[in-house]
């Protein structure tokens, strides 16, 4: 019998650093101390590395390096995209359209904008977790300056119709800027900003086995945004402050490793194993329709997800009940989907990565079955 010290299945919250990222970050931390803004040799060497890392991330997005600005992560990129977009078009209108299932970094930024004189319309999803193109487009008005719709939901994994929304808005003549939070989609499903037809896009490193503390904002060519931070000309004058070269190095290394791994088939197999084993072990369990291959939302009606999660934690199996940012709060995503309270309260989130194995999934389901029978025998 295989003995597992721990099984980590919360990769939608964060992922362990891949060896490639660790090696490159260690190399930079130990060998490259130069400031990329300095003009002497160590600075020029650091700048050359920064340019190369930017090229790597840009190519993974199907973009050009000058379109990429490194940030401290997806939250910062989302905040900046929203604030800069509405500031740019504030004379045209003060209406924003988004969805009721966005990550809190979008939701809370929009709530603050609502207190600052902007009107925010949130479009709800259907029971399958996706918003409709028609509903989003109907919410857009002549004074709408921004439409923000995430690409993959961070709790359910459901893919949102961003490209279809963008196409419909362009066809209607809307001049609103379009932003998407692609943090859970980057390196997991194929896409490019050009294919999506959007203006702004946010990604993060720590969801793809890169380090925490670094992400990026992509902007469409020709779009001028107000700087996020002032004080220097770093990041093409858009974000002042000395770049965290070691983090950016880890980001680029994680991108390269993800491209080489091409783990889509493996992740889909893990999803299939999860569904197959749940069907046999816990026939009352339900799994939301699969979107992105790395996220599964599983409900055990009649159970309490926090109780299941805490008991599995004690066994060394790590899952979550919703977004890590909520710190145990009830899922606004599942509430927006109008699911029954018993379904919401019994929902857990499973997040796979290429480092997980089929055997880990089977052990998780077995332990989940045992936990349910012990704690919720009815």
**One domain, residues 198 and 79:** yes
Segment 229-249 shows an average pLDDT of 95
Is the pLDDT at 2 greater than 60? The verdict is: no
Is the pLDDT at 348 greater than 60? The verdict is: yes
Does residue 301 fall inside a structural domain?
yes
Q: What percent of the chain has pLDDT over 70?
A: 97
**One domain, residues 266 and 181:** no
**One domain, residues 198 and 93:** yes
Does residue 1 fall inside a structural domain?
no
Considering only 107-121, 185-199, 323-337, 353-367, which range has the smallest mean pLDDT?
323-337
Last residue of a domain, one of 204, 221, 241: 204
Output the CA torsion sign for 33, 217, 353, 323.
Answer: positive
**One domain, residues 279 and 199:** no
Last residue of a domain, one of 184, 204, 224: 204
**One domain, residues 266 and 335:** yes
Last residue of a domain, one of 163, 188, 204: 204
pLDDT for the residue 4: 59
**One domain, residues 271 and 360:** yes
User: What is the CATH number for 85?
Assistant: 3.40.640.10
Is the pLDDT at 325 greater than 90? The verdict is: no
**One domain, residues 367 and 272:** yes
Is the pLDDT at 17 greater than 80? The verdict is: yes
Does residue 217 fall inside a structural domain?
no
pLDDT for the residue 291: 82
**One domain, residues 149 and 269:** no
Does residue 315 fall inside a structural domain?
yes
Asked if 204 and 77 touch (Cβ cutoff 8 Å), the reply is yes
Does residue 123 fall inside a structural domain?
yes
Domain that includes residue 347, residue range? 262-375
Q: Tell me what the pLDDT averaged over the chain comes to.
A: 95
The residues carrying an active-site annotation are 325
**One domain, residues 200 and 266:** no
Does residue 198 fall inside a structural domain?
yes
**One domain, residues 166 and 285:** no
Segment 36-40 long-range contacts (CB within 8 Å, at least 24 positions apart) = 36/234, 36/242, 36/243, 36/245, 37/232, 37/233, 37/234, 37/242
User: What is the CATH number for 370?
Assistant: 3.90.1150.10
Residues present in the chain in total: 378
pLDDT band at 378 (very low <50, low <70, confident <90, very high): confident
Q: 29-49: per-residue pLDDT in tens?
A: 999 999 999 999 999 999 999
pLDDT for the residue 327: 59
Residue position matching structure tokens 């999506």: 196
**One domain, residues 303 and 198:** no
Burial class for 129, CB neighbours closer than 10 Å (0-12, 13-18, 19+): buried
**One domain, residues 184 and 273:** no
pLDDT for the residue 5: 78
Number of domains in the chain: 2
Does residue 330 fall inside a structural domain?
yes
Does residue 223 fall inside a structural domain?
no
């Amino acid at each position: 019998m295989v003995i597992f010290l721990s099984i980590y299945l919360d990769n939608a919250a964060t992922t362990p650093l891949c060896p490639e990222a660790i090696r490159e970050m260690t190399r930079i931390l130990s060998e490259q101390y130069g400031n990329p803004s300095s003009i002497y040799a160590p600075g020029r060497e650091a700048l050359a590395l920064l340019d190369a890392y930017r090229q790597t991330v840009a190519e993974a997005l199907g973009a050009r390096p000058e379109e990429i600005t490194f940030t401290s992560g997806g939250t910062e990129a989302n905040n900046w995209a929203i604030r800069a977009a509405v500031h740019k078009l504030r004379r045209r209108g003060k209406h924003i359209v988004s969805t009721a299932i966005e990550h809190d970094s979008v939701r809370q930024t929009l709530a603050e904008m609502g207190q600052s004189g902007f009107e925010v319309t949130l479009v709800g999803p259907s029971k399958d977790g996706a918003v409709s193109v028609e509903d989003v487009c109907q919410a857009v008005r002549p004074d709408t300056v921004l439409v923000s719709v995430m690409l993959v939901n961070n709790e359910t994994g459901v893919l949102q119709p961003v490209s279809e929304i963008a196409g419909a808005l362009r066809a209607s003549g809307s001049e609103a800027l379009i932003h998407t939070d692609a943090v859970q989609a980057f390196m997991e499903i194929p896409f490019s900003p050009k294919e999506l037809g959007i203006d702004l896009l946010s990604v993060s490193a720590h969801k793809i086995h890169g380090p925490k503390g670094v992400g990026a904002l992509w902007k469409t060519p020709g779009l001028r945004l107000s700087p996020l931070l002032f004080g220097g000309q770093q990041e093409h004058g858009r974000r002042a402050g000395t770049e965290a070269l070691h983090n950016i190095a880890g980001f680029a290394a994680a991108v390269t490793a993800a491209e080489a791994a091409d783990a889509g088939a493996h992740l889909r197999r893990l999803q299939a194993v999860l569904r197959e084993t749940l069907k046999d072990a816990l026939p009352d369990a339900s799994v939301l329709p699969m979107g992105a291959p790395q996220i599964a939302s599983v409900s055990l009606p009649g159970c309490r997800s926090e109780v299941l999660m805490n008991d599995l934690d004690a066994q060394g199996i790590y899952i979550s009940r919703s977004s890590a940012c909520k710190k145990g709060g009830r899922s606004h995503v599942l509430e927006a989907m109008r699911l029954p309270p018993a379904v919401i309260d019994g929902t857990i989130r499973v997040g796979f990565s290429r480092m997980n194995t089929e055997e880990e999934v089977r052990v998780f389901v077995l332990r989940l079955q045992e936990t349910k029978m012990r704690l919720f025998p009815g």
